[in-house]
Amino acid sequence: MKKNTRISNLHRKFAERSWNDTFQLVRRCMEKSRDESKPCEPIARALDRLQEVLQAPTMDNTKSRLEMIAKRQGMDFYCTDVTCYLTADIFYLEVLLLPSGEVQEVKMALHRERPAPSRSLLRLLRSNNFSEFSVRLGELFAQYNIPGDSETKSKMLKSIKSLWKDLQQISDMPKEPKCFEAQIDLINNGRVGFLMAEKQDYPPSLYFYISPNDCLKNSELSLEELLEFKPAVQVNQATIGVGDLIHKLQMTSLISEAPQLDTHSCPAVAALGEVSNETLPACFLLRLKTPIPVFSHIVERVGQITGVTIPDCDLQWAPLPRLLINASASAKSPSEPLDGQEIFTVVFPEGGMHTYVLSDSSWDAPAQRAALLASVPFTQLAHVSAVLELLRHQCVFNTLLRSCLTQSASPASVCDLHFEVRPESTTSISVTFCQPHIDSLAVLLVNIPNPRQITCQLFGGGFYDSSYPMLDEYTSMVLTSCMSIPVAMRALYCRLEETTSCPTTAVAENDRLSPEMDTDGHSPAASQSAA
């Protein structure tokens, strides 16, 4: 009762006040926040909500929203009659407003440099997409958030700019291809991936992996639109960060203006000791926009390549499937636990259904545990290519495993095809299933020796038709093209149904035993599954 009376009194008190008076009151409340470096979040959300309701832009409304965004990012804000300035230690934004409150122009510059127009930020503000504008501003702030005194900041900024220039030269050799397919190939196979040209208003980004399936699903998009489609493409940003240890970093380009090319048509890179360098309490960082679940051996190998250890305290280890499920936007409904296992149902658009079982115990072994990797520290240009190859390798493994983890929202009532997916090593997966028309198990061993090669081997008895000596090659081809274990298993199962529907006396001749099979003709994985 008292609460209702209080609300009624507030309504009467502010009934005759204008929206501008209300905004001013909320902003005064924000300035009384206990943490002066950031606004009070509940009040900030209230102000955002008020401004969203008033969609028509006004001068005060636009200024208020820009001020809120700047303070949330830890930046300073001040304005003149028609220009707003969002400033950080190293860079600043100019936002020029029209009398109506609409945005006329956005410029961005590093301090002591000439400001340049930013079409991307202007587009966001003109479309009133303040949330995405805030995200982009946060990326810029993180990119240029270099701690230390002014001299140290200047040296670190010069060093990272030298690295960006070298990465751009490598990405442009050979000259950047224009056709969509060639650019996708550059993402997956280029030494430093596909580097978006450095712009002051957009941190240079290295796009280094996209699965063929994502390319097919988004084939109607242009390359620029596809790169903005964040779930499809793995991307990182090269930046610099401080640390407890000192490292020798380049202060100029390691690649000459007219570089000599090596046998792979890549520019020759000078040794760090041959060019200007500085010893700084910092290292370069490949900051992943979307953290990648990686095996422990990948973390160790990265440290061996770069000579900079990734602190174990920054990593939380868990079975790889669990990390992929948590990170996947498609895994919205919980899977069904069964005796310490996880069951996932895959329904095909054209009909049919598979279930995939991943045993918790098999994926929880020390060698199979993984952690989310958010950034990779390094100190030299030569480290980038080797690190990206390791990340691509893990991305291929993750893509194949993730294809089994989709939980259908409305699965069919009956499913006759069940598969068990187990790790055999950090580069191979086994899929165990019942053969069609035969009371016998088969195992498909999927090997991923590198990011560009997938091979399949089928083990088990009952393959009658000698006209299928290329069954392994067929399955490998299907899996490589679609990067989906369920799609490959459906194709393989159809082939086996054709083969086993006409039994012959040639069973013994066509049975194959792997080097690790027991005398009963089953692989250890199949025997364990049967047990």
Does residue 192 sit in the same domain as residue 98? no
> Which CATH number does the domain housing residue 80 bear?
3.30.310
DSSP state of 199: B
Measured between alpha carbons, how far is 72 from 134 in angstroms, rounded to an integer? 9
Measured between alpha carbons, how far is 332 from 129 in angstroms, rounded to an integer? 26
Does residue 21 sit in the same domain as residue 50? yes
Does residue 2 sit in the same domain as residue 27? yes
Average pLDDT on 196-203 reads 63
Average pLDDT on 321-332 reads 72
| pLDDT tens column, 178-188 | 555 677 788 88
Nearest CA to 99 among 49, 63, 68? 63
Does residue 132 sit in the same domain as residue 12? no
Measured between alpha carbons, how far is 369 from 380 in angstroms, rounded to an integer? 29
| Domain stops at, among 104, 123, 145 | 145
pLDDT higher than 90, residue 59: no
Say if 422 falls within a structural domain: no
| Domain stops at, among 97, 124, 145 | 145
Measured between alpha carbons, how far is 403 from 213 in angstroms, rounded to an integer? 10
Give the pairing of strands 233-250 and 76-79.
Answer: unpaired
pLDDT higher than 70, residue 160: yes
| pLDDT, averaged across the chain | 79
Number of domains in the chain: 3
Does residue 40 sit in the same domain as residue 164? no
Average pLDDT on 401-427 reads 79
Q: What is the pTM of this model?
A: 0.77
Measuring CA to CA, how many Å separate 467 from each of 69, 441, 462, 481? Answer: 67, 21, 14, 23
AA letter at 439: D
Which residues have CB under 8 Å from 126's CB, separation 6+?
102, 103
| Domain stops at, among 90, 121, 145 | 145
Does residue 47 sit in the same domain as residue 97? no
Percentage of residues in the chain with pLDDT exceeding 70?
70
pLDDT higher than 60, residue 39: no
Measured between alpha carbons, how far is 329 from 220 in angstroms, rounded to an integer? 22
Nearest CA to 416 among 400, 434, 399? 434
Specify whether the CB–CB gap between 298 and 390 falls below 8 A: yes
Specify whether the CB–CB gap between 395 and 453 falls below 8 A: no
pLDDT higher for 256 or 8?
Answer: 256
pLDDT higher than 70, residue 506: no
pLDDT higher than 60, residue 408: no
Measured between alpha carbons, how far is 350 from 347 in angstroms, rounded to an integer? 9
pLDDT higher than 80, residue 282: yes
Q: Looking at 35-39, 377-381, 426-430, 433-437, which range is the least confident one?
A: 35-39
- What is the structure's pLDDT at 48? 59
- What is the structure's pLDDT at 141? 87
Tokens 């679609």 map to which residue?
482
Q: Grade residue 525 by pLDDT with cuts at 50, 70 and 90.
A: very low
Average pLDDT on 168-191 reads 73
Does residue 118 sit in the same domain as residue 211? no
* Count of residues making up the chain: 531
For 21, the domain range is 1-54
Tokens of 384: 């980038």
Q: Grade residue 110 by pLDDT with cuts at 50, 70 and 90.
A: confident
